[in-house]
Amino acid sequence: LPGHLRTVGPVEPKNSKTGSPVLPLTSGLQSPFVAVAKKAGPAVVNISSKRYTEIISRGFQTPYDDFFKDFFPEFRQMEPEKKQKKIEGQGSGFIIDKKGYILTNNHVVAGNPELTVKMSDSREFSAEVVGADPKSDVAVIKLKGLKEDLPESEVADLGNSDEIEVGDYAVAIGNPFGLERTVTQGIISYKGRTGLDIQGGGPMYQDFIQTDASINFGNSGGPLVNLRGEVIGINTAINSAGQGIGFAIPINMAKKIADQLIDHGKVVRGYLGVLPQEVTPELAEGFGLKDLKGVLIAKVEENTPAGKAGLLEGDIITKFNGQDVPNVAKFRQIVAETKVGDDVKLTVLRDKKQKTLSAVIGEMPGETVAKAKDEAQPKIWLGIRKLLAVDSEQAKSAGITEKEGVVIAEIEPDSPADEAGIQRGDI
């Protein structure tokens, strides 16, 4: 074992919140993951879902259906038969409160199914959905028929996902392929993974922890834990094209959402009212940026917090309340997690000069906003992915003085436009 895992004296690992010891020391050649599994395992549950969907059956079907229809009129008159088809699913979750609240993925409980939860000691309970948030793929369910509070040993200890580092050990616990209480180990492979194209539709807000701890179908909703036995993430997705590539929702993000789901049954997100765009190398050069951090404001909606704060199309937001804005995904997450009504400071680059604006965060209107963003996304034409008007603020800031035409901002490699010799920056 690596030296830092050996028993070297009376030093004990501490809970990051309370400072109290959380795991017994390993001795001899015993794996440190034994203690992790014993501490975190009792909080992990198996979630079975069952729902029914209506299908239409037209009776028996054969290669000679047309023959029957021609010679037997009663065959043509047969009414389609409606049947109920049972759809079953398996997933994982973990208990976060002695009252029986369980944290899992939205996609584990989507479709309002009948839920059965199997505990670590094989007890079974029915459960109901307290709240679910498809935009983050987080859901909270609650055990039904619980006559007394659960013991503390069955409640997961939630850690701090902001403290993890690439290379830290990680342990995944869950029920892959229905194989209950499976424990796998690996490391944190990456932090802040975004832009994943997840089969079945990925969540809008992505800030995934990537790990090579083995995760498979059925692990969804189960915990990813550290060597202190603290939950640092919710196992959520895998890369089906390869092995050793799994993704977990950071527990700090999940906790904020779970608290709102338990208290209100829904998530209220902050809203600024802008359409953000990534800063490309060309735009960074034109705006005089030293790096690609920040987001370009492509559009400011009317009568929104952004409009009232004085944000303009072409502004580049580099900091949000003192926090760096590295890209669009992180910017959206920061805004969404800000409390409605908070007064925030925006550090903005305009005309190559830095200025500070104040904005009062509003409440996200809901799905209509997401649809508007989808409609505003640029279409690809001949491989040209993005165009700018020559009289736009972005073009002017880049030193373009032409009166007519459009600026090529982005081109798809190996497309007709690329092969024709069109380049970014052409007008």
Catalogue the active-site residues: 107, 137, 220
How far lies 48's CA from each of 102, 214, 352, in Å?
A: 13, 21, 56
Token pair for 9: 């004296």
The residue type at 414 = D
The distance from CA 400 to its chain's CA centroid, rounded to whole angstroms, is 39
The distance from CA 190 to its chain's CA centroid, rounded to whole angstroms, is 15
CA distance linking residue 308 with residue 225, whole number of Å: 43
CA distance linking residue 427 with residue 121, whole number of Å: 68
Tell me how many helices (H) and strands (E) the chain has. Answer: 11, 22
The residue type at 210 = Q
List the beta bridge partners of residue 296.
277, 316
Q: Which of 249, 219, 217, 223 is nearest to 102 (CA)?
A: 223
